[in-house]
Amino acid sequence: MKFAVIVFPGSNCDRDMLYAITDALQEEAHFVWHSESDLSSYDAILLPGGFSYGDYLRSGAMSSTSPIMRAVKEEAGKGKPVLGVCNGFQILLEAGLLPGAMLANENLSFICRNIPVRVEQNDTLFTNAFDQKEDIILPIAHGDGNYYCDDATYQSLVEHDQIVFTYPSNPNGSVHDIAGICNEQGNVLGMMPHPERAVEALLGSTDGLKIFQSILTNWREAHVLNT
């Protein structure tokens, strides 16, 4: 399976993401610079964390206008898996691929630590290696991780089973403890916690690897013929 890791000016989790795929998952991954405009040769798209454009104006706002985002929208429309982590999640929100917006953490501090994250939906292509309502350990590292949406949007998220991850103990003030959401079709996921930093025991948790394994399993079921 071939993964694209999109690199924006200021991405700083791009290498972690690439190594998660090549070292831990043992699949193919390539960096793609944000000024590129074609992603048709990739099977999945990863938007890494970082501080694209220095978080100027709003986190993810500038990146959402990059040429590559047109290609991301196009491939997302074809049903390809698109995963945005941290700043990648913020970019997906700003680009309108996911509903809602990100505010500064409620306590205004940058938070960087391992925390429990609850799997609210294990029937997505990103989470089927987990148990429903399983609590996993993932690192968070963000200043603007306070997810916000209005009541109507929240109702719609609930109705369509789009809330994929929540915080059992809310670190940043996110509305309804939301840590990660997917689109209605289920092929675009945005999450604040960093699964790519939890892919081997040495890092303190291997729970993040299951997200990438879920993507791979799902892709193999759809694309590799049984012989």
Other CB atoms within a 10 A radius of the CB of residue 164 amount to 27
194 is catalytic: yes
Nearest-approach distance from CB 16 to another protein, in angstroms: 27
DSSP string for residues in 22-80: IIIS--EEEEEETT----TT-SEEEE--B-GGGG-SSTTTTGGGSHHHHHHHHHHHTT-
Q: Is residue 52 within 8 Å of residue 10, measured between CB atoms? A: yes
Catalytic one of 86, 94, 120, 182: 86
Distance in angstroms (rounded) separating the CA atoms of residues 145 and 104:
6
Instruction: Give bridge partners of residue 148 from the DSSP assignment.
Output: 101
Which residue matches tokens 């972690």? 16
Instruction: Please report, for the chain, how many H helices and E strands are present, in that order.
Output: 5, 11
Nearest-approach distance from CB 104 to another protein, in angstroms: 5
Which of 99, 186 has the CB closer to another protein? 99
Which of 8, 126 has the CB closer to another protein? 8
Which of 132, 155 has the CB closer to another protein? 155
196 is catalytic: yes
Contact residues toward another protein (CB under 8 A) are 57-58, 61, 65, 93-94, 99-101, 103-108, 146, 148-150, 173
Which of 16, 94 has the CB closer to another protein? 94
Nearest-approach distance from CB 197 to another protein, in angstroms: 25
Supply the DSSP symbol for 10. T
74 is catalytic: no
Nearest-approach distance from CB 112 to another protein, in angstroms: 18
Catalytic one of 13, 34, 182, 194: 194
Cβ-Cβ contacts under 8 Å for 103 (sequence gap 6 or more)? 144, 146, 147, 148, 173
Q: Which residues are catalytically annotated?
A: 86, 194, 196
